[in-house]
Amino acid sequence: MTLPVFLVAALPTGPSALLDGPEGRHAATVRRLRPGEELVLSDGSGAQARCAVTAVRKDALELDVVERWVVPEPAVRVVLAQALVKGDRGELAVELATEAGVDAVVPWRASRCVTKWDDGPRGAKALERWRATAREAAKQARRARVPAVAEPAGTAELARLAGSSAVALVLHESSSSPLGSVPLPASGEVLLVVGPEGGITDEELSALTAAGAHAVRLGPDVLRASTAAAVALGALGVLTDRWR
């Protein structure tokens, strides 16, 4: 069984460390780790350290650092532009995409989004939920890197991002081109665009394809907005070197 991962602001520089705060409390009182057991500390940006528990406090662990390493970024990075989805299905989309290996997430304010994020406290709270979801899903998946969740973007911003990416793929149910028909780069950024429950409008699709994006289809069935990205990431893992 792989070791549990706990996120810290920075890895310890010396031979020992104290895991306290919410992560230390979780390790000591929920996971109930004991002296002699091991865990992994991660800064969420690729640097990790394997540590052995030497002592347990009420809500913290004392640790000895056993080994350090850095997990490099994949040569092909996948950035998900996920349209806002109603209820908790947006958080589900982020959770599944993070577990499937996405490198970054851009919330997309598509025209047909049922839910709307304003620029005030409610929008900031919704964005923070997406970021917290990505963090927790990365820990659950034992990932060395936590995907960054950017500020929400409109279609014009998304088109600019598509134009600067090595490849941009728009999942669209009316496309006759399978995802595997688009040549994928050996390195660089792949933008993966997932629309809302109501679908991508013709104007949005035109703006994205004019910027160089390819409209593609995953298979014969229509997937939900909350699950499409995870399925596509699995396909991209096989079609590129990401899973090798």
**Residue limits of CATH 3.40.1280.10 in the chain:** 76-239
Picking from 7, 30, 31, the residue whose alpha carbon sits closest to that of residue 19 is 7
The yes-or-no verdict on residue 126 having pLDDT over 90 is: yes
Question: Residue 143: what pLDDT?
Answer: 95
Question: Residue 116: what pLDDT?
Answer: 86
Question: Residue 122: what pLDDT?
Answer: 87
Superfamily (CATH) of domain 76-239: SPOUT methyltransferase, trefoil knot domain (3.40.1280.10)
CB 126 within 8 A of CB 97: no
Question: Residue 179: what pLDDT?
Answer: 95
Question: Residue 219: what pLDDT?
Answer: 85
CB 46 within 8 A of CB 70: yes
Q: Which pLDDT tens digit goes with each residue over 34-68?
A: 999 999 999 999 999 999 999 999 999 999 999 99
Given the structure tokens 């020992």, which residue do they identify? 16
- What is the percentage of the chain residues whose pLDDT exceeds 70? 100
Superfamily (CATH) of domain 5-70: Hypothetical PUA domain-like; domain 1 (2.40.240.20)
**Residue limits of CATH 2.40.240.20 in the chain:** 5-70
Q: Which pLDDT tens digit goes with each residue over 139-192?
A: 999 999 999 999 999 999 999 999 999 999 999 999 999 999 999 999 999 999
The yes-or-no verdict on residue 1 having pLDDT over 80 is: no
